[in-house]
A and B are shown apart, each in its own frame.
Chain A
Amino acid sequence: MTENGRPRTLFEKVWHAHTVREQSDDTPAVLYIDLHLVHEVTSPQAFSMLRERGLAVRRPDQTIGTMDHSTPTTPRNDLGVIPIADAMAALQLDTFSRNCRDFGIPMYALGDEHQGIVHVIGPEKGLTQPGMTIVCGDSHTSTHGAFGALAFGIGTSEVGHVLATQTLLQNKPRTMAINVDGRLGDGVTAKDIILAIIARIGIGGGTGKVFEYRGEAIRSLSMEGRMTVCNMSIEGGARAGMVAPDDTTFEYMRGRRHAPSGAEWDAALAHWRSLPSDPGATFDQEITLRADELIPMITYGTNPGMGMPIDGAVPAPADEPDVNKKIALDKALDYMDLSPGQQLLGKAIDVVFIGSCTNSRITDLRQAARFMDGRKVADSVRMMVVPGSQQVKMQAESEGLHEIFRAAGAEWREAGCSMCIAMNGDQLRPGQYAVSTSNRNFEGRQGKGGRTFLASPLTAAASAVAGAVADPRVMLAN
């Protein structure tokens, strides 16, 4: 698997295999894109550009659309239709339907049994495969790296480039190995791993880099867990994060709608097995964390790097030597209305959101449901559970998870991005506190004036029951 005897990383193999033109002093590399995912929010201006220039979509057969960001998640009406109350959202969704139809792109519309968050449906349909290049006009495209694909978010101009040419101009990123050794303790999850990584390296720590997550703790994760980790690579500043494909990956892939079958499966498998980084391959940077030292994590501030172990205390701006960081922390604590030294455990909350492309897959919902079974959401808390796709929703319902959530007093919604981005009416009110399984705690992200604590589905469920930030390990032990 080495080239000229030089051991190569997973990233280098995938990059090399997709280079249409090498990078030079004057031009970035030109990369071929195997799969392009499109959604309603970041595509309309790209389709307009195609129309203005009289261009076609070069490979509609390598492009797929879904509606997710601005779709309502309210229950269906008597006709089985999910009503869209917001006129602008309706126009955007309508425009998207027309664009996909006019340009021949297959698309899952609101209400379709395959519709869902773009980063949930790609893997679920077997579209996401090891060794591929995958892009989408969405920064959490890094999610698909869990399969050993090189997957990253692009802007709308670049969406246009890929639609028209199936290629992208890219400067080669540097590599960073993130080793997570040892095993996770009970009540500690993939989400806690990635929140700990970001707290350690900071939200700009991965700028210009591609992460490769390695080590025993990563190998032991389910595909869903690996997706949770890769999903938040962008919160560490990296455009892409990758995990080498292994038997866990292949088991997940087998039999999925777009996965290869028969002789093609065997050929694909041989290719996939050649992808992991060669022994002795070197990275530009390497860090190591110990999984057995991790406990559930939570954020206290207004970016995902402002995170700490759940039993920790909010840091004091006065202790921050860097003046810019001090200002940022001051501003964050002011927005969050928290004081230095304050513990978050026991802090009363108003909303719990379980969902988003980080934590809305079936294993996330199973974890949360198992926890909620026989427990009740505190009276002061509104808990929303939003499955990542219609398929996840159906699976969960076939297992009776929705009954558990409802019996506990939680809302069970239709699939979509929902309160992760608060474009569709699902949002916090000013001043409210939420424990959320999503990926961003920026000011106003979940609704203007809303305050977000990012955490795992287990921590979110425990907090819903307690009515306050809670450590799930305590309740799990009882």
Chain B
Amino acid sequence: MEKLRHISGSIVGLPVNDIDTDQIIPARFLKVTDKAGLGKAAFCDWRYLEDGETPNPDFILNQPDYAGASVLVAGNNFGCGSSREHAPWALLGAGFKAVISTDFADIFRNNALKNGLLPIVVDRDTQQQLFSLAEEAPGTEVSVDVEAQALTLPDGRRVNFPLDGFSKYCLLHGVDQLGYLLALDGDVRAFEASNPQRVKTTV
């Protein structure tokens, strides 16, 4: 994973609550065996017309004003539904580096952090302010300092957001969490030696 210290980019708003992973990437795109090329499937059923190819001109991500937006501002409870990691893969593939919402579904947040897509939790007022800015002034940029856990709005206001220490360390240093677990092999062996195996699948 690449190091993630700063993000700056323009925002686009999707003021819809409870955007589920089936909207982020519909299940028919899950028949892949790698992670590449999922960006074009992001929000597919909202983004394209009936034929699945012609961009829907009404959908915000298709509007030229928002081309190149890399920070998505979304309604409450973003990423609910399935455990598909294809959701952050698709968002990253579509050029997003961070998603801002008032809260995230647990599995989505975990998956996002493991891929360097930053879930930023803000209060309701900040969320609403960002929605308005995105709508009224397309191209509005925000910046994010991961180390300081701070989001800076165009008016200079800084909003702090929560980020657990471990995920932060991994983002800042570009390390993935598996390395940490692999290094605990001794502890795992000790655990296995003192606890019975509960079930054996190979019999």
Contacts and interface: CB of A to CB of B under 8 A. Distances in A.
B55 interface: no
A356 interface: no
Nearest to B35: A45
B198 interface: yes
6 pairs of A and B residues whose beta carbons are closest in the complex: A155-B111, A44-B33, A153-B83, A88-B31, A156-B85, A204-B77
B85 A42 contact: yes
A20 B187 contact: yes
Interface string B22-41: 11001110111111000000
Contact of A34 (B35, B76, B199, B202): B199
Contact of B22 (A28, A131, A324, A445): A445
A327 interface: yes
Contacts of A86: 31
Given A61-B201, A325-B17, A442-B20, A27 B106 contact: no
Contact of B202 (A21, A60, A165, A448): A60
A21 B184 contact: yes
Contacts of A32: 188, 191-192, 195
B38 to A, nearest CB: 11
B106 A208 contact: yes
Contact of B111 (A157, A166, A169, A423): A157
A440 interface: yes
Interface string A56-80: 0010111110000110000000000
A310 B7 CA distance: 48
Contacts of B80: 203-204, 237, 303
Contacts of B192: 32
Interface string A425-457: 000001000000000101111001000000000
A436 to B, nearest CB: 14
Interface string A10-49: 0000000100110001111010101100000110110011
Interface in A374-432: 421-423, 430
Interface string A306-342: 0000000000000000001101100100000000000
A49 B22 CA distance: 25
A158 interface: yes
Contacts of B174: none
Contacts of A204: 18, 76-77, 80, 103, 105
Interface of B: 15-18, 20, 22-23, 26-28, 30-35, 45, 50, 52, 75-77, 80-85, 103, 105-107, 110-111, 114-115, 164-166, 169, 176-178, 180-182, 184-185, 187-188, 191-192, 195, 197-203
A328 to B, nearest CB: 4
Consensus secondary structure, chain B interface: loop
B199 A91 contact: no
Interface string A146-159: 00000001111110
A95 interface: yes
B23 to A, nearest CB: 6
A241 interface: no
A88 B27 CA distance: 13
Contacts of B169: 26
A10 B34 CA distance: 38
B59 to A, nearest CB: 13
A132 interface: yes
A294 interface: no
Contacts of B178: 49, 53, 157, 160-161, 164-165
A127 interface: yes
A40 to B, nearest CB: 9
Given A48-B34, A169-B180, A423-B27, A258 B76 contact: no
A69 B30 contact: yes
A424 to B, nearest CB: 9
A444 B83 contact: no
Contact of A165 (B105, B106, B107, B182): B182
A259 to B, nearest CB: 9
14 contacts: A20-B188, A26-B166, A27-B165, A35-B201, A45-B34, A61-B197, A62-B200, A106-B201, A131-B198, A153-B83, A157-B115, A157-B177, A167-B188, A442-B23
A328 B75 CA distance: 9
A129 interface: yes
B111 A44 contact: no
Contacts of A137: 83, 85
Nearest to B181: A165
Contact of A132 (B185, B188, B198): B198
Contact of B198 (A58, A63, A70, A129): A129
Contact of A26 (B17, B165, B195): B165
Nearest to B75: A324
Contacts of B32: 44, 88, 92
Given A42-B84, A60-B201, A324-B17, 19 more contacts: A32-B192, A53-B178, A62-B200, A127-B199, A138-B83, A155-B85, A156-B111, A169-B166, A169-B177, A169-B181, A234-B81, A237-B80, A237-B105, A327-B75, A423-B27, A423-B28, A445-B27, A448-B26, A448-B52
A248 interface: no
Contacts of A45: 33-35, 85
B188 A155 contact: no
